[in-house]
Structure 1
Amino acid sequence: MTASKTRGPAERPARAATQTLLDGVRRTVLPSGLRIVTEAIPTTRSAALGVWVRIGSRDETPAMSGASHFLEHLLFKGTAKRTALDISAEIEAVGGETNAFTTKEYTCYYARVLDADLPLAVDVMMDAVANSVLAPADVETERGVILEEIAMHDDEPGDEVHDVFTEAIFGAGTPLGRLISGTEETITPMTRTQINRFYRSRYKAPEIVVTAAGNLEHAKVVRLVRAAIAGSPLDSAADDPVPPRRITRSRIQKPTTVIRNRDTEQAHLVLGGEGIQREDDRRFALGVLNNVLGGGMSSRLFQEIREKRGLAYSVYSYGTQYADAGLFGVYAGCAPGKADEVLRLIRAELAAVASDGITAAELARGKGMVKGAYVLGLEDTGSRMSRLAKSELLYGDLMGVDELLAKVDAVTLEETNALAAEILAKPMSLAVVGPFDDGAFSSDR
């Protein structure tokens, strides 16, 4: 299979236009610019539906930090024809499930149901996304819920340390450095009028992709979506479409050490720095490198720190890519008294890979891990639905499985080691959450 390049949201056809992307995968663009992508999997008896909006926390002003996440909560609270109970009860009555999540670059609302109940899921989910009323009472109720969620997050140091690390890399208050949830200082004064203005100005048809995977017919899904949004703000092309997201390369901050003093039983550490952008062709090499370094039980970090020395229960590396930037980090959770030794070992391993690279055997194992994780991750309708959306929203093309596996197979030892030398040899930032005072650690190697 070969990749099929898709069109961006600005290219709106006068009439609904449909094309075949891959075997079983079809794409329709409505006159409004809303896109529908489906994958037919006749052997299943279920279907997964997602409504994806290309709006995330990086698209907010500092004063509106957390608006995307706030809105995600509110869209399940009721429309002109459904209460919050109706939205959940109608799906749960047929054994289905609904949920949503917000990221820095997009928001997703999804449902999983039996194949026969896909028409119901489309009607409920499209109604919620297109026609939410944002009742003032619901805004106040959800404000309290979100403030509790923020407080709960602050009580999870293993999660908090990743936010601290991201802030250290991109800078607190920057589009990529701000918290997805917002803060108590931004959520508390946010008004219903402000949230509704954000909703109606940003949730435009060209910014929305509806994806579905399972036992379905593409043409029927298109008809269902069109019927569900008839007469709504998503039914026609917007007079004032959202301008394309302004991508100016996010500046990476100077290496620093940030310590959040918490009375915790464990020290939570993330050491790392700048990674690569989402569309960088070296992302396949980075996937291989990540698996070798800290992506599994056979990885160097896991073997050295947990298996040989028993210094940490959890240790792993990871990469995160955005449209204009990326980061690469290593996380470890350990007893506070062992933090210095764990950091020393992490730095030593990063330095060794940066200078000497990985071996041919490690390259082969890393490739196998990437390919296996990808293929095994496509075993359910939900993951396939997500794959369609991310390909459409983030990459603009959909690779077939064989093509993607070939991209991984094409990764060379020289390419991987060159990438390791580039991203692992630089001075790095360190984020720490635990019972430590400022100055307890240094970001120097």
Structure 2
Amino acid sequence: MDSVVEMVEALESTSRGFAGVVPELARALGACSTPGCRAVLGHPPTVPAAPPTLSREQWLLFTQLLHHDTAAPERGAVLAPDGSTVTLGPLLAGIEVGLRRALGWAVPTLEPPVDALYAVTITEALGTSFLLARDSGGHRPVLGPAGCWDDVNDPQNYTLLGPPSPIPDAVANAAMDGVLLGAQLAQAPVPLADLLRGYYGTGNGTEKGRPPSSYRRRDFGALVAPEKLEEEVAAMLRVLQVLPPTRELLEDVEPEEVVAIAHQAARDFTEVYVACPAIVPRCMWGARPYRGTPKPLTLPLGSVYIHHTFIPSAPCRTFTACARAMRAMQRFHQDTRGWDDIGYSFVVGSDGYLYQGRGWHWVGAHTKGYNTKGYGVSYVGDFSTTLPDRDAIALVRDNLLPCAVRTGRLHPNYTLRGHRQMGHTSCPGNSLFHEIETWHGFK
């Protein structure tokens, strides 16, 4: 993302700081090539000559990032300082809608009417994804997966962790960011480089704390209710029914099916990307391989055990610091304690993210005698006398645990306990233990 901001700043310098030049250039290069996006924003401009403010290498990178490939929607992805990955197409399309609205844009007449901001970012992709899944008999993925970079310090190649859907995580992140930043720009236009730098925290080494992008799920959920998302997906599908490129795809879809597809699409997207927390996969924090053969858990589990790491003793508030803490814990667990892997199922950073340890499906080494019965969830830090940040508390209490129940990984009548209740230890610290005494399921 730092590289993208540098290119955006260089492009804006040729237009006296006008932010609209970059989204229009993105459309010329193929970022808004789908039928619905073109119906809203119009046909793309002609591809210009390479701008003199960009080097040959920068121009080549920019054109590659903006080229849309329906077979690989995750292409055009960039790594943000908070450890999340976003594709530029939906992001810049949402930004263009926001800028146009700030200038008094006359919204294109479509029937039925659609909200342009949602149409160019999420609703066309979401409706199409669930429509294609319907036609495949449910054998086609509709959302996800996540992916990993070859090197988070010098990211070059991004690889998905499973079969792709039209909305892999990088597209979902970009769509939510496009909605949020588009809505912000509609109220107060600013140079795009400044907007991106402030939102993603670029240029500060990510060591100054959480950037706004790490709150995207919370902020998107606050802005876009599931009912609104469902309404806009249904409207977009009806528009696609009359557009020549997509008319045949939807010719046999009855009105009640449109409603059903939109309902499921909005419900599932909200569940996966708003109600459930983001989990940083092992390959993103630099995990070593598991030693030996992991043992599978039998789901749903009936218990959750809360820990604190004690060492590291300070909470981690950036992706860089949390990934470093994860690697240190794994080295200690494997090399000093002789375990097969990091012991915890999940680790909670104060950067807004959960970090995958053993994960949902494999027996951990967190609570002796009870590892097959529950998940071990550990907060990074020593919470003997202080509490984790409020956001970190809510991430587990209000997001992870309800999500685990809804997805069938945790029994609805689960029991929650502190590590000290299961063995001779002060873990998870007095302050955190008194906090979890107030949580649902504590016994």
- Fold conserved between structures, TM > 0.5: no
TM-score (norm 2): 0.27
**Is the strand fraction higher in 1 or 2?**
1
